[in-house]
Every structure is written in C-alpha cells, then in structure tokens.
Structure 1
C-alpha cells in the first residue's frame, strides 16, 4: 500500500485568542487548497457532509444529494444519470491527480465506445452502458492518449512560499511581507506570537475542506480545535430583480404555503425543475462562488477564489 503523503505548515499562533494568525507553506499545500474550488458540489457532499451528524451542514445540498441517492433508478432517464449526479466528474481531474494530497477519491475517468460500431461513429462515453446511436451500449473501454507536462507543478509554483491566513486568504510570501501583513492585523510585536509546526494528511485536509465551507476561521478550527468564529451561510446582500439577466426559460411551480409560518411547505413541479435542482450537484464550488458574486457567504470560499 502506498504511503500517505504529508504536507508541512508553519503556524503563527496567538495563544491568548487561541487563534492561528497566519500559516506559511510551499506550493504543495496551496495547490491542495486551490483544488477545493474545482470540486463539484456532489463530490463535496459525498466526501464531507453526507454523514455529518452535527448542525454544521452545507445548506440543503446534503438533502439534495440524499434525494438522488434514495431515488430508484426508474426515476432517472437512465441509470447512468444517477451515477453522474452522485459521482460528478471534475473538469480539472488531470491536474488534481498530481496533487500531493488529493481529497477527491473518485475513480479516474474512463472512456467507452460501442463495440458493435467502433468505426466511423466517433461517439464515446465516460460511463459504461450509455446508449450508442445504433441502439447498442457503449461498454468497450478505450485508452485516450494525452500529452502531459513533465512539470510536477499543479496550479502554483511549488518552491515558492505562501502566507495563508485564518480566513484562507492566500498571498505570496516575500521578504518583509509577513511582518507587514501582521502589522496590518494589529500585531506590532511578532514575538508575542508562537511558532508551531503542523503535519497535514488526508484527514486534516478533509477537515479543512469542511471548515472552509462553514467557518470564518478554518485554520484555527482544524489545528487548534477552535470554534469561536462560526459562520452560517447567509445572504450578505440581495441582487435586485432588475439586475438579474432576463431569460426565455420559464419553469412553473405549484406551491403550498403555510400562512401562519410564512413559508413554502412543498412545491409540485415538472421534471425540468428537478433536473435544474439536481444539476447543482455537478457544478464546481468555484463556479458557484463566481456566480453568486459575493452575495452569499460560503465559509471562506470567497477568499480562496479572490486569492486565485
């Protein structure tokens, strides 16, 4: 069995506040942090929220995931659609495979063609059993030849040092920058901070992913067991309807409302609306953050996105 890879961090800790002020790490750790943005919501739910018992949950995405998981195959257009939602593909898979610590345990993408009409059709599927245009199943696996860079870099330069703040703001480290940033945070005397070393494996990275989505202080929460700065996902501002781009697509809902509680109890919808909801599971969290344009607090993901 391959030995688990570890990452190394240097932490500057404010012991009085029990808080990580800043961490210093090389590109391996920053690559792993930035890879969070590539993960589809369905993958994130499966990895860190599916069996979460505490109240720290990622909105209603877990309910959406479980709705797909608990539905019979007959609900879907075909059985492959269900697998697509529960195990969505990561468009950056080839990059993430080079990570020293990769949280995504999805099987590498495979490619299948129809064994009956191999020549001339040009159709392939990333899931075995998809229907070919001839009516047969695409179940013959093929290998695609790709050209990969010989560089072991993923997203950032590995040998460069980076500063990672408690709210996951990431900056490149250079002489004098650490001291300047600490002064900006109100720490005039760096000697009041304690240096700590941390060794980070897969479990810690999974914890960081979960906290990155639900907390304002992921580093403190993971490395100091600190929960003093919780963050509930809340709308920081609403986009006026006049600013929402118009669309020709309309989906009808028939809703039942509790007037006493002033809330929707349930809605009866057509399949196009359910398809729309389920498609959330295939969207990368980085894309979601970009589309929300700062109108919604998703832990520290906004800071991670801005750092990129």
Structure 2
C-alpha cells in the first residue's frame, strides 16, 4: 500500500455530537468512490480483522482453508480470494485499500509478443482486402488460406498529464455528508445544510481536519456497510 494519505475537513456540531459534513478535495473523493469498485472478496479480506458481521467471512475462510487437492488444476484460489481490482491502482496513487499488489508474481502473463493480436492474409495478397485473426480462414476471392502474417500498428497513445488521474475533476471542493452523499460544494449549499440541520448556535460548530490512512480507510469501509452516520461513527 502507498504510504500517502488524504485528508478532509469536518464540520462538527459539538452540541448535537455529530459531523454535519466534510470538505474534501479530489484525492479524497476519488478514494471514496474507489470503494465502489472493490470486489466482495477484497472487502471481506480487509474487514476480517474488524470482525465483519454476517456469513460471507465464513465463505471466504472456507475457500482459504480448502486444500489445493480439491481445486481444479487450471484454477487458483487466489483468483477468488485476491481478485485483481477492476480499476488500475495507478488511478489512485494516494491511497490503495490493499497492500497485496506486490505479491502478484505475474504467472498469468508474460512480457513479449505472445499477447499481441495477430492477423493474417492470403498468400496472394488480394490487395489486402481481406484479413483474419484465424490462419485457418480462406480468402473469399482466391480461396487461399490466410497464411501470411500481417503486423498490426497501434495508433499513437494519447498523452495525459501526470497529475490527471482518478475519477473526478480537481477544480472544485466537494461536500461529503455524514452518510457519504457527495456533491460539489458551494457557499449556498453550506448555508442550506446548516438550515437543514437547524443550527442556531454558530459557536457550537467546530472544524477538524482528519487524515485517512489505512486504519481509517478500513473503518470507513466497515461503517459504510453498517451505518448512515459514517463520518460521525469513525471520527467523532
């Protein structure tokens, strides 16, 4: 896991003993939305130490304890226990929810041209009108097998600025509600929220900056599955 951390600024109602909402930047919001892409097995693995409720941990433990003798030769338990994340970790360099990425040994893929898509044409060429990805195919014009290899040339990669990554744009500040509702923040939206919570004493409000590291990330994940007061339960 990356040692980098992200932070958010909480607005706390000290009288009501609750977090009203938080101000968060792009990096923090990217992390929160990243939770949605986590495979179930990854969530279970992260929450085992937190005594996750329900029966899914038993299912996970059963497969973890199952002897390899009972696993099909072409299958690996880690395919289910440690699934590859659907979103590239490079999109979220500031905070990753799992530190198992370095354990991947690359057995399932090799460098080189093995995975480059190959195409074929017939021996006659036929003006390259027909190509196929199967050398057993026959040319519709001359009926010759597609035995000549055609080299595929990819278009130039589009360069993206190094600082651009993740999901959301970084030109605005975001409001994160206690129940993890997220929306762009504005002065009007802040005032609206204070009226909604019926805040009479502005002096009772307190700002607090909190940092999200691995421990806080796991606590947030667990609370998000159990509570509608996630920020309050984790940070207050």
**Global fold match (TM > 0.5):** yes
Retained in 1: the 8 A contact 2:220–2:230?
yes
Which SS does the other structure have where 1:176 is aligned? helix
**1:198 Cα deviation from its structure 2 partner:** 1.7
2:55 paired residue number: 60
Match of 1:69? 64
Question: In the alignment, what sits opposite 1:149?
Answer: 160
The corresponding residue for 2:81 is 86
Partners of 2:169 and 2:67 in 1: CA distance? 46
What's 1:258 paired with? none
State which drifts further: 35-44 or 197-206: 197-206
Unaligned runs of 5+ in 2: 119-156
Q: How many angstroms does 1:35 deviate by?
A: 0.4
Secondary structure of 1:67's partner?
helix
Q: What TM-score do you get using the length of structure 2 for normalisation?
A: 0.71
Task: Compute the displacement of 1:16 (Å).
Answer: 2.3
Gaps of 5+ in 1: 123-145, 225-308
Deviation at 1:159, TM superposition (A): 3.8
- Kindly tell me the number of residue pairs found equivalent between the two proteins: 195
Deviations 1:123-151 (A, max 9, x none): xxxxxxxxxxxxxxxxxxxxxxx867324
- TM-score normalised by the chain length of structure 1: 0.56
Does 2:213 match 1:219? Answer: no
Provide the C-alpha distance between the structure 2 equivalents of 1:120 and 1:37, rounded to a whole number of angstroms. 32
- Contact between 2:39 and 2:85, CA under 8 Å: does it hold in 1? yes
* Contact 1:73/1:79, CA 8 A, preserved across alignment: no
Shift of 1:121: 8.8
Asked if the contact 1:11–1:196 (Cα under 8 Å) also holds between the matched residues in 2, the reply is yes
Pair 1:32–1:148, CA change in 2 (3 A): farther
Q: Name the counterpart of 1:176.
A: 188
CA 1:77–1:28 in 2, change beyond 3 Å: closer, same or farther? Answer: same
- Is the contact made by 2:11 and 2:205 (CA closer than 8 Å) also made in structure 1? yes
After TM superposition, give the deviation of residue 192 of structure 1 in Å. Answer: 2.8
Larger Rg: 2
2:93 is the alignment partner of 1:99: yes
Shift of 1:188: 4.7
Q: Which has the higher contact order (CA 8 A, sep 6+)?
A: 2
Secondary structure at 1:81 match in 2: coil
The residue that corresponds to 2:109 in the other structure is 112
Cα shift at 1:46 = 1.0
CA contact (8 A) 1:58 1:213 kept: no
